[in-house]
């Protein structure tokens, strides 16, 4: 089959690779009908050393089940399914608590160099714990919105949930990528009163306003921080949803959060150490939350409003390509020419 | 009057200083009848440069009101009162929310080099917001327990509250100082099922067991982490109460916390940067909470069980001295000869 392989920063290829096969009785084999390029794929695209490659790419998928192992009970051949960016068994203590990203038998697609969703097919381990059947046809107009349940919508929603956004919250969202925009939608859904979106790309922040942002701040750094603090009435936001992952975004979050507030991170940190002492988090009793989103935990909750059309998270897709167009899709996203690229293998 | 002054690390003196006076209509003048030396006083005692001195010391007090400014309404001359380690006006938006340490008109005694509670008297700004009248006599046997409401008990309780300790929680407490031991008492009070106390001083950990610790781990570092993880059943503690404040304690907290759990810090951080990235907090969705405790918010809640004798937080005091003995009191605490020294000026 054909699949996307990254050799090093800037070098993405579509190549023939061995067909996946059922290996264990809990596996399912899925033909991928919709995948996408994620903002987090741009981190390796920007800096991955050749020694980390070649690595298969992509961690978001919708597809049709082709075959199932003997122990798979909840999906069958022909079902249209969505898979989260992390495999989980659905039965361990973490899965039962809704923290599937810490599943004791779990796997992040990104951590397996021989598996990726920007491809024609994939072997899904722990199919019962991982896959969710979708009650629509493979060519439904709802597919883009449903595909966001595999990562970006669930990730934005996780930020808002663990940040404790509730009715009346003043929220700042840092980052106008797909996750940031869907964090806006999520904060709105949870009742936030004020949602300040920090982002510089007008076509994106316009979508942010459509999703519920009450204010947009294009300035960055100290100037941006000052602007948000003014908008919040002086003391900052109760909850900051940080959807970028670099140190300037972290510092911006520390700058705009209100004493006693929460910084909720879902942008994958490109740093290990960060300020957390008296002068940053400790003194004002600011809490730090977030991590890779257990999106599997949110699919059942977020599917109905997608199905009835009351929310349209799929609007974050502004380009579509086949597999051959994937390398250009990476470059277009890196150049900020497109927000998020849908891939139809 | 006489007061304690630190000139630099290791150099604590008791000297004559100007008598405090009412300066504003919201002030109260308090004759101090009980004060103490705090574990956090040992940080400057260990490393304060001479350029930061001379600085008056002490931030915990019980005393008798001698005089009040014209606008003070809730306490009067002759009242026995307790003051938290932070002054607060009691009326700003943070005070109303119970985050008095972020009071917009607030002050930490420690940040004022000309005020300290290890002294004969003190001027208390914002007396109505800061002071709480105590319904006992100045020589009550409950004074030591009530004095813990000014800092160490409220601080241990804050750790447990913002850590989200609840019925059934598995908790680890790092540090067997007064705050750590009272964090044990607090976790017990909030219903924790397992309370592992990490500490090496048997006489202290024995008191920890009396306060509710179910297990004691004397090992540190990797060995200590392994031991706690075994005790927790393999995955670590839901909540870690970090009552030390140095980097080894932080690292230990990261090592013993369960995925999805909380590290709640009340030990004043002696670092500004710390690991928070994918390999420490982010990957396992671990939350970081805590800060200087708004102990004023907890006094009304914690006073009744102290008054009826159902808890005895004052057991953390194992030595008493007059003002002249304060310099030796610092040294004894630094040498771990005493746990916490009560000062009767």
pLDDT tens digits along A320-339: 999 999 999 999 999 999 99
The b-or-e profile of B35-73 (16+ CB within 10 A means b, else e) is bbbbbbbebbbeebeeeebbbbbbbbbbbbbebbbeebe
Q: With bands split at pLDDT 50, 70 and 90, how would you rate the model's confidence at B208?
A: very high
Q: pLDDT per residue over B305-343, tens digit each? A: 999 999 999 999 999 999 999 999 999 999 999 999 999
CB of A233 within 8 Å of a chain B CB? The answer is no
Strands (E), chain B: 2-8, 11-16, 28-36, 55-56, 61-68, 80-83, 86-87, 107-108, 121-124, 132-133, 170-174, 194-198, 215-217, 237-242, 257-265, 273-275, 287-290, 319-321, 341-343
Q: Which two tokens stand for residue A136?
A: 């629509």
Cα gap B37→B319, rounded to integer Å: 10
Mean pLDDT for the stretch of residues A250-264 = 98
Contacts B279 to A, Cβ<8 Å: 272
Predicted pLDDT of residue A249: 97
Predicted pLDDT of residue B182: 98
As a whole number of Å, the CA-based R_g of chain B is 20
Predicted pLDDT of residue A42: 94
> Strand pairing of B257-265 and B237-242?
parallel
Instruction: A9-18: list long-range contacts, CB under 8 Å, 24+ apart.
Output: A9/A44, A9/A45, A9/A46, A9/A47, A9/A48, A9/A49, A10/A45, A10/A46, A11/A53, A12/A45, A12/A57, A12/A326, A12/A327, A12/A330, A13/A327, A14/A323, A14/A324, A14/A326, A14/A327, A17/A56, A17/A119
Predicted pLDDT of residue A274: 98
Rounded percentage of chain B residues whose pLDDT exceeds 90: 100
CB of B225 within 8 Å of a chain A CB? The answer is no
Cα gap A191→A186, rounded to integer Å: 9
Is the Cβ pair B286, A291 closer than 8 Å? yes
Predicted pLDDT of residue B334: 96
Predicted pLDDT of residue B3: 98
Is the Cβ pair A282, B292 closer than 8 Å? yes
Nearest to A292 by CA among A245, A324, A339: A245
Task: Give the number of residues written for chain B.
Answer: 345
Mean pLDDT for the stretch of residues A67-75 = 98
Helix A178-189 vs helix A152-162: angle between axes, to the nearest 10 degrees? 50
Predicted pLDDT of residue B126: 98
Question: Under a CB-based contact definition with an 8 Å cutoff, are residues A241 and A263 in contact?
Answer: no
Cα gap A318→A13, rounded to integer Å: 22
Q: With bands split at pLDDT 50, 70 and 90, how would you rate the model's confidence at A134?
A: very high
Looking up tokens 């082709």, which residue turns up? A66
Rounded percentage of chain A residues whose pLDDT exceeds 90: 100
| Topology annotation, domain B2-151+294-343 | Quinone Oxidoreductase; Chain A, domain 1 (3.90.180)
Cα gap A89→B117, rounded to integer Å: 57
Nearest to B326 by CA among B50, B23, B21, B117: B117
> Strand pairing of B257-265 and B287-290?
parallel
The secondary structure of residue B283, as a DSSP letter, is T
Cα gap B102→B342, rounded to integer Å: 28
Contacts B282 to A, Cβ<8 Å: 265, 268-269, 290-292
The residue of B154, B267, B276, B290 whose CB has the most chain A CBs within 10 angstroms, and thus the best one to mutate to test that interface, is: B276
Mean pLDDT of chain B: 97
Backbone angles phi, psi at A315, to 5 degrees: -60, -15
Q: pLDDT per residue over B240-267, tens digit each? A: 999 999 999 999 999 999 999 999 999 9
CB of B300 within 8 Å of a chain A CB? The answer is no
Question: Under a CB-based contact definition with an 8 Å cutoff, are residues B239 and B169 in contact?
Answer: yes
Please tell me which of the candidates A235, A272, A285 has its beta carbon nearest to residue B291.
A285
CB of A196 within 8 Å of a chain B CB? The answer is no
Q: Any residues with CB less than 8 A from the CB of A38 and at least 6 apart, and which?
A: A58, A59, A60, A85, A151, A152, A178, A340
Mean pLDDT for the stretch of residues B29-51 = 96
Is the Cβ pair B288, A281 closer than 8 Å? yes
Q: Which two tokens stand for residue A106?
A: 């779990």
Q: With bands split at pLDDT 50, 70 and 90, how would you rate the model's confidence at A237?
A: very high
Predicted pLDDT of residue B79: 98
Mean pLDDT for the stretch of residues B35-40 = 94
Cα gap B31→B124, rounded to integer Å: 10
Helix B152-162 vs helix B299-307: angle between axes, to the nearest 10 degrees? 120
Secondary structure of residue A289 in the 3-state scheme: strand
The residue of B86, B111, B288 whose CB has the most chain A CBs within 10 angstroms, and thus the best one to mutate to test that interface, is: B288
Q: Where are the domains of chain B?
A: 2-151+294-343, 155-290
SS (H, E, C) B216-255: EECCCHHHHHHHHHHHHCCCCEEEEEECCCCHHHHHHHHH
Predicted pLDDT of residue B158: 98
Looking up tokens 């592992």, which residue turns up? B196
Question: Under a CB-based contact definition with an 8 Å cutoff, are residues A82 and A117 in contact?
Answer: no
Mean pLDDT for the stretch of residues B65-70 = 98
Q: Distances in Å between the alpha carbon of B196 and those of A14, A316, B245, B296, B317?
A: 53, 47, 18, 28, 22
Nearest to B261 by CA among B167, B184, B163, B158: B163
Nearest to A153 by CA among A293, A333, A319: A293
Q: pLDDT per residue over B88-121, tens digit each? A: 999 999 999 999 999 999 999 999 999 999 999 9
Alpha helices in B6-77 (DSSP H): 42-47
Give the residue from chain A lying closest to B285, CA to CA: A291
Question: Under a CB-based contact definition with an 8 Å cutoff, are residues A207 and A181 in contact?
Answer: yes
Predicted pLDDT of residue B292: 97
Angle at A199 between CA A193 and CA A200, to 5 degrees: 140
Q: With bands split at pLDDT 50, 70 and 90, how would you rate the model's confidence at B179?
A: very high
Q: Which CATH class name applies to A156-290?
A: alpha beta
Cα gap B113→B38, rounded to integer Å: 16
Mean pLDDT for the stretch of residues B22-44 = 96
Kindly state the greatest CA–CA separation across chain B: 60
Predicted pLDDT of residue A243: 97
Report the helix count and the strand count for chain A, using DSSP H and E.
11, 19
Give the residue from chain A lying closest to B158, CA to CA: A285
CB of A294 within 8 Å of a chain B CB? The answer is yes
Q: How far apart are the first and last CA of chain A?
A: 10
CB of B234 within 8 Å of a chain A CB? The answer is no
Looking up tokens 């004691």, which residue turns up? B216
Cα gap A83→A128, rounded to integer Å: 11
Predicted-complex ipTM score: 0.96
Mean pLDDT for the stretch of residues A2-7 = 98
Cα gap B244→B90, rounded to integer Å: 29
Query: H or E stretch including B109?
Result: none
Predicted pLDDT of residue B102: 97
Q: With bands split at pLDDT 50, 70 and 90, how would you rate the model's confidence at A192?
A: very high
| Topology annotation, domain B155-290 | Rossmann fold (3.40.50)
Tell me the nearest-neighbour CA distance from B302 into chain A, angstroms.
21
Q: Distances in Å between the alpha carbon of A151 and those of A94, A105, A185, B229, B281?
A: 19, 19, 14, 31, 20
Cα gap A311→A146, rounded to integer Å: 11
CB of B101 within 8 Å of a chain A CB? The answer is yes
């Amino acid at each position: 089959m054909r699949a996307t392989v990254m050799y090093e920063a800037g070098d993405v290829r579509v190549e023939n690779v061995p067909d996946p096969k059922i290996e264990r009785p809990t596996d399912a084999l899925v033909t991928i009908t919709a995948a996408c390029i994620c903002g987090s794929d741009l981190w390796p695209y920007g800096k991955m050393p050749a020694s980390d490659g070649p690595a298969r790419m992509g961690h978001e998928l919708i597809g049709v089940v082709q075959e199932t192992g003997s122990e798979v009970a909840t999906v069958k051949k022909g079902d249209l399914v969505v898979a989260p960016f992390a495999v989980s068994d659905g039965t361990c203590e973490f899965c039962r608590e809704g923290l599937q990203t810490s599943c004791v038998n779990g796997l992040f697609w990104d951590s397996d160099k021989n598996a990726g969703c920007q491809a024609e097919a994939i072997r899904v381990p722990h199919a019962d714990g991982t896959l969710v059947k979708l009650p629509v046809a493979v060519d439904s107009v709802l597919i883009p919105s449903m595909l966001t349940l595999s990562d970006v919508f669930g990730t934005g929603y996780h930020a808002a949930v663990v940040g404790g956004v509730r009715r009346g919250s003043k929220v700042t969202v840092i980052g106008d990528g797909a996750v940031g925009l869907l964090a806006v939608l999520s904060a709105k859904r949870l009742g936030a009163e004020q949602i300040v979106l920090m982002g510089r790309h007008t076509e994106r922040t316009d979508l942010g306003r459509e999703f519920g942002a009450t204010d947009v701040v294009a300035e960055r750094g100290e100037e941006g921080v000052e602007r948000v603090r003014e908008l919040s009435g002086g003391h900052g936001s109760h909850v900051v949803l940080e959807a970028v992952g670099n140190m300037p975004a972290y510092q911006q979050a520390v700058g705009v959060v209100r004493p006693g507030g929460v910084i909720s991170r879902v942008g994958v940190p490109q740093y290990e150490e960060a300020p957390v002492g008296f002068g940053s988090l400790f003194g004002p009793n600011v809490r730090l939350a977030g991590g890779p989103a257990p999106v599997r935990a949110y699919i059942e909750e977020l599917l109905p409003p997608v199905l009835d059309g009351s929310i349209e998270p799929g609007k974050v897709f502004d380009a579509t390509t086949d597999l051959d167009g994937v390398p250009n899709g990476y470059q277009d996203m890196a150049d900020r020419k497109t927000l998020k690229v849908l891939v139809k293998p």
